[in-house]
Each structure stands twice: as structure tokens, then as C-alpha cells.
Amino acid sequence: LVSTRYGQQAPVLRRRFGTRIIVLDQIIDAASLLSRTDVFVGSGGTMTVEAALLGVPAISCFPGPKPLYIRYLERKRLVKTIKSPSKITKEVLQILGNDKRREDQRRRGKRLLAWMEDPTEKLLDTLKRAQGKWELN
């Protein structure tokens, strides 16, 4: 199952892989999809982080320098950065063949997510303070 970032990627992938893959070409509820995912390979950051925090084994193949949040999740053993397609394939097969590893990953991801603060209250407080400043001016 492949979700592309840009529309022009979908036809290229379909031509290259044919019926061996399913390309999503519509907006999806990523959290619902990730909750049913055994392993995630991402070249961006958002869904890689979401997968890791949901406890899904996540592989980042981001082509540039590692972002700080990816390095943090690597230290927590929630993301692994691999750029070689053959090494990614090998890692995916190892993950899929090891139920205990996937279950350990789920526990670690969910534990970290539960430890993190919900940003909603901070965001609302910040907006209220900003609104108060705007009203005074």
C-alpha cells in the first residue's frame, strides 16, 4: 500500500509496479490506516512520527539530513533510518517475521505518546493570551 505526497507520483508508481502495489490517490485518515499497519516506511516526517508514536515499527528513508525529531525517535528505538532500498526490504522482512519485536515497539510507542503532553491546552492558552493582547491594541 503506497500513499504518495504528490499526485504525479501515483501514475509513475503504477507503471513501475503494476498490480504488485496499491496506490492511494485520495485523502486518507492516516491515524486509522497506521493503526492497522504492521510496518511503515516513510520519506517524510509527519507520518513517520505518527507511526512511531502509535507503536508501528517505522523506517525513515528521508534523503536529507536527519531532522531532530527523527534523531529523538531513533534514540527511543521507535524509528530506524535506512536509505538503501535493499536494506529497507531486509529490515521490513525481519520486522514482519517477528511478532514480539512488533509488540515491543507498540508498547514503547504508546508509552512515549502517553508520556507526552497534549498540546491542546497550551495552544488554547497561547491563543487566549494573544487575543487579549490584540484587544488591548
Read out DSSP for 35-102?
TT-S-EEESSSHHHHHHHHTT--EEE--SSSPPHHHHHHHHTTSEEE---HHHHHHHHHHHHT-HHHH
Per-residue CA distances from 2 to 10, 20, 54, 123 (Å): 9, 11, 19, 33
Distance CA 29, CA 6 (A): 17
3-class state of residue 122 by DSSP: helix
Summarised one tens digit per residue, pLDDT across range 109-128 is 999 999 998 889 889 999 98
Distance CA 111, CA 59 (A): 19
Domain ranges of the chain: 1-36, 41-136
Across the chain, which has 137 residues, the per-10-residue mean pLDDT values are 83 91 83 90 91 96 93 97 95 96 95 92 90 72
Q: Which pTM does this prediction carry?
A: 0.79
